[in-house]
C-alpha cells in the first residue's frame, strides 16, 4: 500500500527567503507520480508541481522545485523567494499508475513579512 | 463551468439525519474521487470511481456512507444517520484516466463543509 509521510507539521519562512518542505513515501510500484498540492484558507486544492517517477530530472515550476531521490523515496519541495501568498497548507501526495492519490498529513507554511 | 463543482458549499444538519453531497466533475474526466478532510487534518480517501463503477471504495468509514455516479458524470455521496464525527469538509476531485493521456493530476472542487449538531 502507498504511504506518504510529512514529518513537519508546521514551517515558517521569512519573506524572500527559501524554505524546503520534506516528504517521504513508500510504494511497491515502479510507475507512479508524485505531487505537491497547496491548500490556502479558501479550501481549494491547487497543484503546485508534479513529478513522474521515471524522470530523473527534478521538476521545476517558477519559484517551486523538487528534490526527487527515488532510491531514498524522498520528494522535498523547495520554495524560493517566498511570498506572503505562499502561506498555506502543503500536501505531498503519490499516485500509483491507475490508482488513487494518497496524501501526507500536510505541512502548514507561515510566511513572515 | 470549467472546474469541479460541489454542492452544497455548507450544510448544517442534526444528528441522525441523512445528507447528500453532490459533485459535478470536469467534462470528459472519467475518474472521480471523494476525500474527507477533518479540521486541520490531511485528506482521507473515501472512494474512487472509474466511469460509473467504483473499483476502490475501501475508504468509506462505515455502511452509513455510500456513493454513486450516474452517466459517468455527477456523483452523490450520501451519509445516513449522521453522527457528530462525520463533521468535516468533503472534497471531490476528477481527473483524466490512464489511456486518456494521463497526467495523474487531480482537479479539486472547493468542498462541502458538513456540520452535524
Q: Which residue of A has its CA nearest to B48?
A: A100
Residues 56-115 of B with CB under 8 A from A: 56, 89, 91, 93, 97-98, 102-106, 108, 110-111
Q: Do A103 and B43 touch (CB under 8 A)?
A: yes
Cβ-based burial of B28 (10 A; exposed 0-12, middle 13-18, buried ≥19): exposed
Task: Work out the percent of chain A whose per-residue pLDDT is above 90.
Answer: 76
pLDDT at A56 over 60: yes
Residue pair A102/B35 in contact (Cβ under 8 Å)? The answer is no
Q: Do B48 and A44 touch (CB under 8 A)?
A: no
The predicted pLDDT at position B100 comes to 53
* pLDDT per position as a tens digit, A68-111: 999 999 999 999 999 999 999 999 999 876 678 899 999 999 99
Which of A30, A31, A22, A29 shows the shortest CA–CA distance to A4? A22
Give the closest of B91, B104, B110 to A50, CB-based: B104
Cα distance between residue A103 and residue B81, in whole Å? 28
- What would the grid cell of residue B50 be? 472509474
Which of A33, A21, A26, A24 shows the shortest CA–CA distance to A5? A24
Selected residue with higher pLDDT from B53 and A82: A82
Q: Specify the DSSP class assigned to residue A84.
A: G
Amino acid at each position: 500500500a502507498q504511504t506518504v509521510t510529512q514529518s513537519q507539521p508546521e514551517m515558517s519562512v521569512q519573506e524572500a527567503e527559501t524554505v524546503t518542505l520534506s516528504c517521504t513515501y513508500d510504494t511497491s510500484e515502479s510507475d507512479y507520480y508524485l505531487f505537491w498540492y497547496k491548500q490556502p484558507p479558501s479550501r481549494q486544492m491547487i497543484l503546485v508541481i508534479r513529478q513522474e517517477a521515471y524522470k530523473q530530472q527534478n521538476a521545476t515550476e517558477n519559484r517551486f522545485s523538487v528534490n526527487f531521490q527515488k532510491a531514498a523515496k524522498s520528494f522535498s519541495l523547495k520554495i524560493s523567494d517566498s511570498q506572503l501568498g505562499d502561506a498555506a497548507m502543503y500536501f505531498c501526495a503519490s499516485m500509483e499508475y491507475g490508482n488513487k492519490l494518497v496524501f501526507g498529513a500536510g505541512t502548514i507554511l507561515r510566511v513572515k513579512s | 463551468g470549467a472546474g469541479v463543482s460541489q454542492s452544497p458549499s455548507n450544510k448544517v444538519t442534526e444528528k441522525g439525519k441523512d445528507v447528500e453531497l453532490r459533485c459535478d466533475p470536469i467534462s470528459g474526466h472519467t475518474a472521480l474521487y471523494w476525500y474527507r478532510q477533518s479540521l486541520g487534518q490531511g485528506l482521507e480517501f473515501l472512494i474512487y470511481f472509474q466511469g460509473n463503477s467504483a473499483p476502490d471504495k475501501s475508504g468509506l468509514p462505515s455502511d452509513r456512507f455510500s456513493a454513486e455516479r450516474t452517466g459517468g458524470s455527477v456523483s452523490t455521496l450520501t451519509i445516513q444517520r449522521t453522527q457528530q464525527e462525520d463533521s468535516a469538509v468533503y472534497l471531490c476531485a476528477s481527473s483524466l484516466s490512464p489511456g486518456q493521456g494521463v497526467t495523474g493530476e487531480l482537479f479539486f472542487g472547493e468542498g462541502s463543509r458538513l456540520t452535524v449538531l
